[in-house]
Amino acid sequence: MSQNLNEPMADVRDMYMAHTMFRREFGLLPQLIRDVREGDVARAKIVGAHAELLCLILHLHHEGEDMYVWPKLHARAGAEAEAIVPTMEAQHHTIEESVALINKLLPPWVATARDGAELADAFDALRAALLEHMALEEREILPLAERFMTAKEWHQLGEHGMKDAPKSALPLGFGMVMYEGDPDTIKSVLANAPLPARLLMPLIGPRIYAKHARKVHGTPTPPRIGRA
């Protein structure tokens, strides 16, 4: 890889923070769906909106990896990349198929709050695929990213998600990720954000997530799982 020797390399701590959020929220989601009473459309709309947001964040997260991580590792990491990146790409495809099924099942369930078992089962399958994928990514991919990607290149992942996500969803998305994040990592993630975001997001993100979690999970402090 051709680069300035003084150029900082990727700090991948933010990926662990994002993965913790995915483990927590996708882990809680199947039971949230099963707990909705038959015909309770008001509750189904709340849980459904939460599920839809999580699927969007996951899609943008993986789309960013497809665009900015795999090509660089293919080009720079040689045999080490070829031994693992194709597996990552195949897992992304499997996960996208699970999300496509969920996107088919979710609207009719939200509209009627009936026959949610298939949707909950689909989220169980998605969670299982995600757990396998994230564990392998943390073990094999993140060490490669630290060696073969610069900090500037790594930041493109976050920039992609912020650019394509609805602006109204960003504070909640940050709040969900920050819920179990350590302050140093949060500060690093926001370092390149505009000054208002750097100042306000640590304050409003947690508040918005607490309000959202009370509505979705019945508590502003859903169970923490920590870094897995």
**144 touches 80 (CB < 8 A):** yes
Residue type, position 90, single letter: A
Distance CA 85, CA 64 (A): 14
**176 touches 201 (CB < 8 A):** no
pLDDT at 192: 75
Distance CA 48, CA 150 (A): 38
Side-chain-side CA neighbours of residue 194 (13 Å): 3
Please give the model's pTM, rounded to 2 decimal places: 0.94
- Look at residues 29, 96, 25 and name the one whose alpha carbon lies nearest to residue 59: 96
pLDDT at 56: 96
Domain 13-166 has CATH 1.20.120.520: yes
Q: How many helices (H) and strands (E) does the chain have?
A: 11, 0
pLDDT at 165: 85
pLDDT at 204: 95
pLDDT in tens, the chain (228 residues): 445 547 899 999 999 999 999 999 999 999 999 999 999 999 999 999 999 999 999 999 999 999 999 999 999 999 999 999 999 999 999 999 999 999 999 999 999 999 999 999 999 999 999 999 999 999 999 999 999 999 999 999 988 888 888 888 999 999 999 999 999 999 888 887 778 778 888 899 999 999 999 999 999 999 998 754
- The b/e string for 6-26 (b: 16+ C-beta within 10 A; e otherwise) is eeebbbbbbbbbbbbbbbbbb
Residue type, position 176, single letter: M
- Give me the count of residues in the chain: 228
pLDDT at 228: 42
pLDDT at 4: 52
